[in-house]
Amino acid sequence: MHERVRRTAVTFSRPFFVEGLDRQQSAGTYDVETIEAPLEGISFLAYRIESTSILLPVPRRGPNSFQLVSIAAAVVRAARLRTEKTERDNRTREV
Protein backbone atom coordinates (compact mmCIF):
# COMPACT_ATOMS: atom_id res chain seq x y z
CA MET A 1 0.00 0.00 0.00
CA HIS A 2 0.98 3.59 -0.47
CA GLU A 3 1.07 6.64 1.74
CA ARG A 4 -1.95 8.86 1.89
CA VAL A 5 -1.95 12.62 2.21
CA ARG A 6 -4.69 14.50 4.04
CA ARG A 7 -5.05 18.26 3.75
CA THR A 8 -7.26 20.11 6.22
CA ALA A 9 -7.84 23.64 7.42
CA VAL A 10 -7.05 24.00 11.12
CA THR A 11 -7.99 27.05 13.19
CA PHE A 12 -5.58 28.17 15.87
CA SER A 13 -7.55 30.31 18.35
CA ARG A 14 -4.39 31.82 19.83
CA PRO A 15 -0.87 32.61 18.63
CA PHE A 16 1.47 29.61 18.50
CA PHE A 17 5.09 28.64 17.89
CA VAL A 18 6.40 26.13 15.38
CA GLU A 19 9.60 24.47 16.54
CA GLY A 20 12.57 25.65 14.50
CA LEU A 21 11.08 29.01 13.52
CA ASP A 22 12.15 32.15 15.35
CA ARG A 23 8.79 33.87 15.26
CA GLN A 24 5.34 33.47 16.72
CA GLN A 25 2.54 32.62 14.29
CA SER A 26 -0.68 34.60 14.47
CA ALA A 27 -3.94 32.99 15.46
CA GLY A 28 -5.97 32.06 12.41
CA THR A 29 -6.83 29.27 10.00
CA TYR A 30 -3.97 27.44 8.31
CA ASP A 31 -3.73 24.57 5.83
CA VAL A 32 -2.20 21.47 7.42
CA GLU A 33 -0.91 18.45 5.50
CA THR A 34 -0.60 15.04 7.18
CA ILE A 35 1.21 12.12 5.53
CA GLU A 36 0.15 8.70 6.79
CA ALA A 37 1.58 5.27 6.04
CA PRO A 38 -0.32 1.97 6.32
CA LEU A 39 0.57 -0.33 9.18
CA GLU A 40 1.96 -3.62 7.92
CA GLY A 41 1.26 -7.09 9.25
CA ILE A 42 -2.21 -6.58 10.72
CA SER A 43 -5.52 -7.99 9.52
CA PHE A 44 -7.27 -4.63 9.10
CA LEU A 45 -6.44 -1.34 7.42
CA ALA A 46 -4.87 1.22 9.74
CA TYR A 47 -2.48 4.14 9.25
CA ARG A 48 0.13 5.91 11.32
CA ILE A 49 1.18 9.52 10.98
CA GLU A 50 4.54 9.89 9.27
CA SER A 51 4.69 13.68 9.20
CA THR A 52 2.59 16.77 9.72
CA SER A 53 3.30 20.08 7.99
CA ILE A 54 1.69 23.52 8.01
CA LEU A 55 1.55 26.08 5.23
CA LEU A 56 2.78 29.42 6.62
CA PRO A 57 3.16 32.82 5.00
CA VAL A 58 6.74 33.92 4.40
CA PRO A 59 7.34 37.22 6.23
CA ARG A 60 8.06 40.26 4.06
CA ARG A 61 7.63 38.29 0.82
CA GLY A 62 4.14 39.28 -0.24
CA PRO A 63 0.69 37.79 0.15
CA ASN A 64 1.30 34.85 -2.19
CA SER A 65 4.55 33.54 -0.65
CA PHE A 66 4.21 30.48 1.55
CA GLN A 67 6.44 27.81 3.06
CA LEU A 68 5.57 24.26 4.11
CA VAL A 69 7.00 23.70 7.60
CA SER A 70 7.05 20.57 9.75
CA ILE A 71 4.90 20.88 12.88
CA ALA A 72 4.31 18.54 15.82
CA ALA A 73 1.07 16.61 15.40
CA ALA A 74 0.31 17.35 19.08
CA VAL A 75 0.19 21.12 18.36
CA VAL A 76 -2.37 20.55 15.60
CA ARG A 77 -4.41 18.16 17.78
CA ALA A 78 -4.50 20.73 20.61
CA ALA A 79 -5.73 23.43 18.22
CA ARG A 80 -8.47 21.14 16.90
CA LEU A 81 -9.58 20.24 20.42
CA ARG A 82 -9.77 23.92 21.44
CA THR A 83 -11.85 24.70 18.34
CA GLU A 84 -14.20 21.78 19.00
CA LYS A 85 -14.62 22.81 22.65
CA THR A 86 -15.38 26.41 21.67
CA GLU A 87 -17.96 25.25 19.12
CA ARG A 88 -19.61 22.96 21.71
CA ASP A 89 -19.67 25.77 24.27
CA ASN A 90 -21.25 28.14 21.74
CA ARG A 91 -23.95 25.60 20.85
CA THR A 92 -24.69 25.06 24.54
CA ARG A 93 -25.13 28.81 25.09
CA GLU A 94 -27.57 29.03 22.17
CA VAL A 95 -29.92 26.46 23.69
For 66-83, what is each residue's pLDDT tens digit? 999 999 888 888 888 888
Q: What is the DSSP string of the chain?
A: ---EEEEEEEEESS-EE-TT-SSEEPSEEEEEEEEEEEPSSSSS--EEEEEEEEEEEPTTS-TT-EEEEE--HHHHHHHHHHHHHHHHHHHHHH-
Band (pLDDT 50/70/90 cuts) for residue 90 is confident
For the chain, the domain total comes to 1
Q: Print the domain residue range for 90.
A: 4-94
In angstroms, the CA 53 to CA 76 distance is: 10
Q: What is the mean pLDDT of residues 29-42?
A: 94
In angstroms, the CA 37 to CA 77 distance is: 18
